[in-house]
Amino acid sequence: MKTALITGGTKGIGKAVALAFLQRGYEVILNYHSDQQTALETQEEFNMLGYCPILLRADVSDELQVKNMFRDFFSIYDRLDVLVNNAGISKIKVIQDTTVADWNKIFDVNVKSTFLCCREVTNRMVAAGGGSIINISSIWGEVGASCEVAYSASKGAVIAFTKALAKELAPSNVRVNCVSPGVIDTDMNAHLTGAETEELIESIPVGRIGSPSDVGEAVVFMAENGYITGEVLSVGGGFGK
């Protein structure tokens, strides 16, 4: 049975990605950091649907915790088929109010974690004869967002990282791709007012906010297509194009 590990996998987009893999028969491992209650509730919700995902707690921006997480993973499973680097945070501030601490925290969670997790699994995937890595970026990493300079820069870095690593690992049959969500109905966008949401919808060609499941289906597609690597798949209903 194939395995998939999703960082930040217990809510929002990560939870939808996990469900998409579970529905296709994967053994799924859900990483979370601090919200144990939500993690347990998600696990129970999946259990009620007949699935049995495993929870692994780790701050994926911390090198030692990442090493320990994958040590625990490989003590249970022989191989990892799919790694989804989904953990991420955002902060809305004009650049004048953005502190160095803000910048470093966003890059630690959004970029450093992707690097650490990829580095930790590469040798295992190469030795197993292949694997798939999906990094979650954002439409703002492609086009930029006012008042989200740090977030946009971090997600742009994820795209560049993906393209570079894909070239490095392609000869070893390890594919690296990126999924770039647009405006998705998650807690990260819960700050939007009704008027702001309506204004956004008017700028989305398909005429609606995306759902986490839209992203989940895209991630599975990218993970399972054996001839796609180094690509960025935008899931935004045409927004920002």
Per residue in 83-129, pLDDT (tens digit) is 999 999 999 999 999 999 999 999 999 999 999 999 999 999 999 99
CA atoms of 207 and 239, how far apart (whole Å) = 10
**Angle, in degrees to the nearest 10, between helices 149-169 and 113-128:** 20
Share of the chain above pLDDT 70, in %: 98
Rg for the chain (alpha carbons), in Å?
A: 17
Per residue in 40-97, pLDDT (tens digit) is 999 999 999 999 999 999 999 999 999 999 999 999 999 999 999 999 999 999 999 9
CA atoms of 60 and 84, how far apart (whole Å) = 12
Per residue in 137-195, pLDDT (tens digit) is 999 999 999 999 999 999 999 999 999 999 999 999 999 999 999 999 887 666 677 77
188: exposed, middle or buried (Cβ count in 10 Å: 0-12, 13-18, 19+): middle
Is 151 assigned a catalytic role? yes
Active-site residue identified among 26, 32, 51, 151: 151
